[in-house]
Structure 1
């Protein structure tokens, strides 16, 4: 088992990218991420390693690279290193949804968040669904809202929808619990794994919009609660009242339905937001 990092980009990555500069972006949950400048533009280099809790994090960069190669024609690199795998993909410029909506969370009577920005996130997720994929890890930090290039949906290591090399694949054991749908949490509690779905992605989008607009998780549980306790709270419900004003609040409430069949599709979310603008 490796240490907690952070780890430098492996030599094999440096040889392919020949970066001029490197900036450490984050190191947590088995992943060290760097922003590097190259002759091809800025790149995100992800260095995966196992943790004391999860071994799959070591494989996540290479798995994501395999997914991205099926979704984009951009230059995607990956390889193996001493403690796991690494990948490199174009850097996405912009702010995360949670960062972008921070001003709304500090007003006593906040206005309705931007429908255009909410729509851009829904469009990014709908585009993935239209290609036959589910994301499996929808959360506010994974929507990068660009100033001119639209919104990017990043971190596709848990996505399902195409073939992934067996050496880099691993079972789906849920995602960040704050955004898990009840059926996903229930399956993980009972079986240890689950099957990500479009309906669960929509639920997670609703939870992501809610926390970004209010600062509150959609379900109440202690900050330090173990994950099984968090998941039990998700399964038992109910979610907090959706106090986001306007059309967006009504739509979030529909997306957070405990019954997957009652949730709108991502395309329907886009239609509702478009007509409300």
Structure 2
């Protein structure tokens, strides 16, 4: 993460009138700000295109991602959401979600020799957040540990820019080209390898949630491949089902193993996962 990034656009500054602002994430194609104002505390996301490099092709869709997420949140009935365009791409404003993400919260479980075990109530909170989205007919498409924020009252599922399940304005829409391969279901990986794109599904979300719980609890990816392997090699491993044994403790381990089933139809639904945990 870089300490510097694009400045907040004038339209956002005029809307929020910040009393403080802090850049919390600055990566290729996007930045996220923590903004305090008289109206409350907000996350502000800016998107801009990724230029081509010798290692990476250009990625113009990143410029559209914040507005697409804003449109999705509106469709889902979220309050206090705004989005629009700026000179380099799009932006959105949404309420700040206080808490630790799943990976950070379960860090004590991953310390060698630790007796701390992953608490099922935390896993259930993640399940409930995803179940709420699935109940509305949507698939998230980018389930990963960093997107579950465990707050003092509930768990929030964030970063819905890749979600599918309802209408999104054509000017802000773009094709789904996969997500972080660590959490990509085999059928998604196969489709991306074959065609360059895929269709997010609730079954793929279940796989991604299982992979997220596994890596957060144990530090191990669901599929074995070299850390520095090219993305295509990673996807080949996922598509071929080169699974590691699940070593999460007890009932959680058995559940994760079922969620990581190679065939989408063999995975439990989010409601079955929740019933098992509760």
CA contact 1:112–1:246 (8 Å) conserved in 2:
no
1:79 is aligned, of 81, 84, 93, to 84
Give the corresponding residue for 1:242: 246
Cα distance between partner residues in 2 of 1:49 and 1:155: 16
The answer on 1:29 being equivalent to 2:33 is no
Q: How does 1:132-171 map to 2 (within 5 A)?
A: 132-148=137-153, 150-171=154-175
Q: How many residues align?
A: 269
Give the corresponding residue for 1:46: 45
CA contact 1:95–1:146 (8 Å) conserved in 2:
yes
CA contact 2:66–2:91 (8 Å) conserved in 1:
yes
- Structure 2 gap segments, 5+ residues each: 52-57
CA contact 1:136–1:159 (8 Å) conserved in 2:
yes
Cα distance between partner residues in 2 of 1:110 and 1:214: 12
Cα distance between partner residues in 1 of 2:160 and 2:244: 28
Cα distance between partner residues in 1 of 2:244 and 2:28: 28
- Worse overlay, 26-35 or 255-264: 26-35
- Structure 1 gap segments, 5+ residues each: none
CA contact 1:202–1:265 (8 Å) conserved in 2:
yes
Cα distance between partner residues in 2 of 1:101 and 1:22: 28
RMSD over aligned CA atoms reads 1.1
Secondary structure of 1:112's partner?
coil
Tell me the CA shift for residue 110 of structure 1. 4.2
Give the corresponding residue for 2:236: 232
- Which aligned runs of 4 or more in structure 1 are off by greater than 4 angstroms? none
Cα distance between partner residues in 2 of 1:157 and 1:11: 23
Q: How does 1:94-105 map to 2 (within 5 A)?
A: 94-105=99-110
CA contact 2:120–2:252 (8 Å) conserved in 1:
yes
Cα distance between partner residues in 1 of 2:198 and 2:230: 19
Give the corresponding residue for 2:135: 130
CA contact 2:190–2:235 (8 Å) conserved in 1:
yes
Tell me the CA shift for residue 203 of structure 1. 0.1
CA deviation map 1:122-150 (0-9, x unaligned): 110011000111000000000000012x0
- The TM-score, its normalising length taken from structure 1, stands at 0.95
- Worse overlay, 9-18 or 91-100: 9-18
Tell me the CA shift for residue 108 of structure 1. 2.0
- The TM-score, its normalising length taken from structure 2, stands at 0.95
1:216 is aligned, of 220, 232, 243, to 220
Cα distance between partner residues in 2 of 1:29 and 1:180: 20
Give the corresponding residue for 2:124: 119
